Amino acid sequence: MFDQSNLIYRYDGSFDGLLCCVFESYDKKEIPTEIILPDTSQTLLFTVKEIRTDVQKSSRVLASIPEKMGFDALNFIRRAFLTCFTQKELYILLFLRLGYRHGQSVMSMLANDVVNILFKAVKHLDNESHLLKGFVRFSIFSNILVAQIEPKNYVLPLMTQHFSERYPEERFLIYDKTHGMALVYQPYQSAIISIEDLELPEPDEQEQSYRELWQLFYDTIEIQGRHNPKCRMSHMPKRYWKYMTEFGGPRKKSPLKLEDTAKFLIP
Partner 1 sequence: MDVFDKLKILTDAAKYDVACTSSGVNKKAAAGGVGSAAASGICHSFSGDGRCISLLKVLMTNVCAYDCKYCVNRKSNDTPRASFTPRELAELTINFYRRNYIEGLFLSSGVLKNPDYTTEQMIEALRILREEYRFFGYIHAKAIPGTDSRLIAQLGMLTDRMSVNIELPSQSSLQMLAPDKSKHSILAPMKYIQNRIQENSTDVIKYRHAPKFVPAGQSTQMIIGATPDTDFQILNLTEGLYKKYKLKRVFFSAYMPVAENTLLPTLDTTPPLWREHRLYQADWLLRFYGFTANELLDQHHQSFNPYLDPKCNWALHHMDFFPMNVNRAPYSDLLRVPGIGVNSAKRIVIARRSATLQFNDLKKLGVVLKRAQYFITCGGKVTGGLKITQDKVLQSLMSEKTLGMYHQSFPLQSQIKQLSLFEQPPMIPSGFPQEDLQRCLTNPI
Residue 15 touching partner 1 (CB under 8 A):
no
Closer by beta carbon to partner 1, 49 or else 102 = 102
Residue 108 touching partner 1 (CB under 8 A):
yes
Residue 100 touching partner 1 (CB under 8 A):
no
Residue 144 touching partner 1 (CB under 8 A):
no
Residue 139 touching partner 1 (CB under 8 A):
yes
CA distances from 55 to 14, 15, 21, 78 (A): 11, 11, 12, 17
- Smallest separation (angstroms) from partner 1 to the CB of 139: 7
Backbone angles phi, psi at 12, to 5 degrees: -85, 0
Q: Indicate the residue type of 46.
A: F
Number of residues that bind partner 1 (CB under 8 A): 54
Q: Are 8 and 32 in contact (CB under 8 A)?
A: yes
Residue 133 touching partner 1 (CB under 8 A):
yes
Contacts of 107-112 spanning 24+ positions with Cβ under 8 A: 107/69, 107/70, 107/72, 107/73, 107/76
Residue 61 touching partner 1 (CB under 8 A):
no
- Smallest separation (angstroms) from partner 1 to the CB of 169: 6
Q: Are 46 and 5 in contact (CB under 8 A)?
A: no
Neighbouring-strand partners of residue 49: 9
Neighbouring-strand partners of residue 48: 8
Residue 205 touching partner 1 (CB under 8 A):
no
**Could you tell me which residues come within 8 angstroms of residue 1 by beta carbon, excluding any fewer than 6 positions away?**
28, 29, 30
Q: Among 12, 16, 126, 170, which residue interacts with partner 1 (rule: CB under 8 A)?
A: 170
- Smallest separation (angstroms) from partner 1 to the CB of 247: 9
Q: Among 234, 251, 259, 267, which residue interacts with partner 1 (rule: CB under 8 A)?
A: 234
Closer by beta carbon to partner 1, 9 or else 76 = 76
Helix axis angle, 88-102 to 113-135, nearest 10°: 120
Closer by beta carbon to partner 1, 113 or else 199 = 113
Catalog residues that contact partner 1 under the rule CB under 8 A. 102, 105, 108-113, 116, 130-131, 133-140, 145, 147, 162, 165-170, 210, 212-214, 216-218, 220-232, 234-236, 244-246
